[in-house]
Amino acid sequence: MNHDAYDDDYIRSILNGVKSIAMVGASPVNVRPSYFAFKYLAQRGYDMIPVNPGHVGKALMGKPFVASLADIDRPIDMIDIFRNSSHIMPVVEEALRLSPPPKVIWMQLGARDDAAAEKAEAAGLKVVMNRCPKIEYGRLSSEISWMGVNSRTLSSKRAPVPTQGMRLSLNRTSFGGGQTAASDRAAKNRTETT
Amino acid sequence: MTDRVPGFSTLAVHAGAQPDPTTGARATPIYQTTSFVFNDADHAASLFGLQAFGNIYTRIGNPTNAVLEERVAALEGGTAALAVASGHAAQLVVLQQLMRPGDEIIAARKLYGGSINQFTHAFKAFGWNVAWADPDDIASFERAVTPHTKAIFIESIANPSGSITDIEAIAAVARKAGVPLIVDNTLASPYLIKPIDHGADIVVHSLTKFLGGHGNSLGGIIVDAGTFDWAKDNKYPVLSEPRPEYHGIKLQETFGNFAFAIACRVLGLRDLGPALSPFNAFMILTGIETLPLRMQKHCDNAKAVAEFLSGHAKVSAVNYAGLPGDKYNNLQRKYAPKGAGAVFTFSLKGGYEAGVNLVSNLKLFSHLANVGDTRSLVIHPASTTHSQLDDDAKVKSGAAPDVVRLSIGIEDKEDLFADLDQALNA
């Protein structure tokens, strides 16, 4: 699996397929990216579970915080890790001990741990690193285009008017080879040349 | 479903546009409104806090402008774009995110005269210093790098000379210096050159020129390549440090590879104010739909006119990179194989006087200060766009006193030959 660039189809199949998402490192502080990614995904219909031992007893959008993945009372499809790269491995190890295990490990924008990814993939899980599910959902649905972002998708169908709790279609035609952004290619080139 | 890569012409027509959600309108509507109602107080707070995708106020974003932004981002291969009121506004907004008083930018000496003025005078008043380098001498860029350097700025095809810049060589200097390369791609348009493919980190345009293409609407745009790591070395605190005006969010951490475009929008455009009218965005979008057709015709006509002038008795030299043997022909074959653009200069045996006479005697070419119109245009830079420069700077920027600049339109080329011939012989 090439984690420098993902096909849109790969990301699309994950976001279309998962229903429940546990967010490790979710923050109740409403200016933190984890807070508004959580809120966005909840508004788009995902069953969101906030995981953060520091906030047990509180709730995020009406969902009570749990201390750890083991404390979740139902199977989880995806674990979205909002932690620095150095804290990824223990979360992945904990995820792999769950029964049933999750289908997807997603590491947030800026987070990447190739060894943890390898471990999860060896156990049959799909892995995404250094991406934000909110951004990817907004991009593939073209909702993000309202900000001038290149969604790298086309559609000749009438756009939906997004409302609360509404799932948007992610099945627009992708272009640009369906690869992820130039940044990854460039970062790679940069490492190679300097 | 396998992803198929649409071609440039398909993107020029479709990228960013979708039938209107409420009416089904197929052409992009002109959302001529200042503001947008919020669903509720929480929605308003989320939008103001940059937590949700949506519209607030046309100074910050507008749905018509957003289509234009996504379309140009797609054509350039960037992650996001921001449309602004003019090409000059694009340059101002870009540099405001990068520069602080005492910082420096290295700029190619061969630039549009208006940019030379903006950099030399207006930006200097902000404490932003410019170091000029020669795009034909890559080492001059390396020599200009100092600890205060924050960016390198070049034109892909230089105005007025039409010379082609070795983008990859200068991108290598920028990479080594750890600063972004900004490329003004106005004269090439992404149809001829995609600077991001050659190492540019930021692309700016005057949309007024070939992208809009009809000489009817001003506009500018900033394209974020998504290629630069703003947090590295902490040289660009606007992107890497908490923003007090947005509850301490860090833009790169939050927006990843389109953080620069977001900074330009939510800090630059919001606070400096040079918003693009949605009507102009609509006009420019319509122009872009035919960009590939127009640009090829512009280039084909320009090459024919350059060949015609090369054989003319009153002409001493033609500088067109599309001509075999031209100093920039090798770079043109590498960077712009479809054509060398439509803006170039030539020199008259009769010098300054002959330049002034030619401009007065042309009947089809319009004498005005613009390029990239469907119509053929002519100007004498030494007495107009570059008149503020001293003689030495005029020569170095490609605007010597005997030089005339043409912007070749999409008319029938035989009519252009005839007009030039009668004016040269008048």
Does residue A179 surpass a pLDDT of 50? no
pLDDT of residue B161: 85
Which chain A positions have a beta carbon within 8 Å of B256's beta carbon?
Answer: 109-110, 130-132, 135, 183
Q: How far is B129 from chain A (nearest CA, A)?
A: 27
Residue (of B4, B43, B340, B34) closest to B165 by Cα position: B340
The answer to whether A64 contacts chain B (CB < 8 Å) is no
Whether B116 and B255 share a structural domain: yes
Which residues are B224's β-sheet partners? B80, B202
Res. B49 pLDDT band, cuts 50 70 90: confident
Same domain, yes or no, for B141 and B156? yes
CB-count exposure of residue B73 (10 Å: 0-12, 13-18, 19+): buried
Are B53 and B154 part of one and the same domain? yes
How many Cβ atoms from other residues are within 10 Å of residue B395's Cβ? 15
| DSSP bridge partners of A47 | A20
**Same-domain pairing of B179 and B320:** no
Domain ranges of chain A: 8-193
Contact, B145 vs B175, CB < 8 A? no
Residue B6 within any structural domain of the chain: no
Site of tokens 């690193």: A129
- Partner-chain contact A135 B256, CB within 8 Å: yes
Q: Do residue B249 and residue A109 have CB atoms under 8 angstroms apart? A: no
Residue B8 domain flag? no
Looking at the structure, tell me whether residues B314 and B195 fall in a common domain.
no
Task: Report the distance separating Cα B347 and Cα B314, nearest Å.
Answer: 9
d(CA B58, CA B31) in angstroms, rounded, equals 9
Q: Does A28 touch chain B (CB under 8 A)?
A: no
Rounded to 5 degrees, what angle do the CA atoms B255, A15, B265 make? 20
User: Percent of chain B at pLDDT above 70?
Assistant: 99
pLDDT at A180 over 60: no
Tell me how crowded residue B74 is: count the other CB atoms within 10 A of its CB.
27
Same domain, yes or no: B32 and B71: yes
Among partner residues B15, B19, B258, which is closest to A156 by beta-carbon distance? B19
For residue A40, give the chain B residue with the closest CA: B52
Q: What is the pLDDT of residues B81-122, one digit of tens each?
A: 999 999 999 999 999 999 999 999 999 999 988 999 999 999
Cβ atoms B261, B79 nearer than 8 A: yes
User: Tens digits of per-residue pLDDT, B374-426?
Assistant: 999 999 888 887 787 788 888 877 788 899 999 999 999 999 999 999 999 98
Domain boundary among B231, B260, B287: B287
Q: Provide the domain limits for residue B29.
A: 13-287
User: Which pLDDT does position A191 carry in this prediction?
Assistant: 41
Q: What is the mean predicted confidence (pLDDT) over B196-218?
A: 97
Label residue B313 exposed, middle or buried (CB < 10 Å: 0-12, 13-18, 19+): exposed
Give the span between the Cα atoms of B368 and B405, in whole angstroms. 11
Distance in Å, alpha carbon of B43 to nearest chain A alpha carbon: 10
| Residue of B53, B205, B230, B269 to mutate when probing chain A, most A C-beta within 10 A | B53
Domain boundary among B265, B287, B309: B287
Domain containing B220 — which CATH number? 3.40.640.10
CB B380 within 8 A of CB B369: no
Instruction: Answer whether residue B150 is part of any domain.
Output: yes
Do residue B154 and residue B227 come from a single domain? yes
Q: What is the pLDDT of residues B326-371, one digit of tens each?
A: 999 999 999 999 999 999 999 999 988 899 899 999 999 999 989 9
Pairwise CB contact (< 8 Å): B16 & A145:
yes
Asked whether residue B170 is domain-assigned, the answer is yes
Report the domain count for chain B: 2
Domain assignment present for B4: no
**ipTM higher than 0.90?**
no
Q: How far apart are CA A166 and CA A148, in angstroms?
A: 22
User: Do B216 and B358 share a structural domain?
Assistant: no
A55-96 pLDDT per residue, tens: 999 999 999 999 999 999 999 999 999 999 999 999 999 999
All residues of chain B having their beta carbon less than 8 Å from the beta carbon of residue A187 are 227, 229
Q: How far is B73 from chain A (nearest CA, A)?
A: 6
pLDDT at residue A3 is higher than 60: yes
Backbone phi, psi, residue A193, to 5°: -90, -20
Task: Please identify, among B266, B287, B308, the residue that sits at the C-terminal boundary of a domain.
Answer: B287
CB pairs < 8 Å spanning A and B: 156
Q: Is residue B2 one of the residues assigned to a domain?
A: no
Question: Are residues B245 and B307 located together in one domain of the fold?
Answer: no
Enumerate residues 130 to 169 of chain A having a beta carbon within 8 A of any beta carbon in chain B.
130-132, 135, 138, 142-152, 154-161, 164
From chain A, pick out residues whose CB is under 8 angstroms from the CB of B225.
Answer: 182-183, 186
pLDDT of amino acid A82: 94
Check which CATH number belongs to the domain holding B361 and give it.
Answer: 3.90.1150.10
In a domain, B237, yes or no: yes
CATH architecture of the domain with range A8-193: 3-Layer(aba) Sandwich (3.40)
Least reliable range by pLDDT among A97-101, B75-79, B385-389: B385-389
Whether A104 shows a pLDDT value over 80: the answer reads: yes
Q: Are residues B162 and B256 in the same domain?
A: yes
What lies within 8 Å, CB to CB, of A73 at 6+ separation is none
Together in a domain, B107 and B56: yes
Name chain B contacts of A135, Cβ cutoff 8 Å.
255-256
B242 occurs within a structural domain: yes
Q: How far is A39 from chain B (nearest CA, A)?
A: 9
For range B164-173, the mean pLDDT: 98
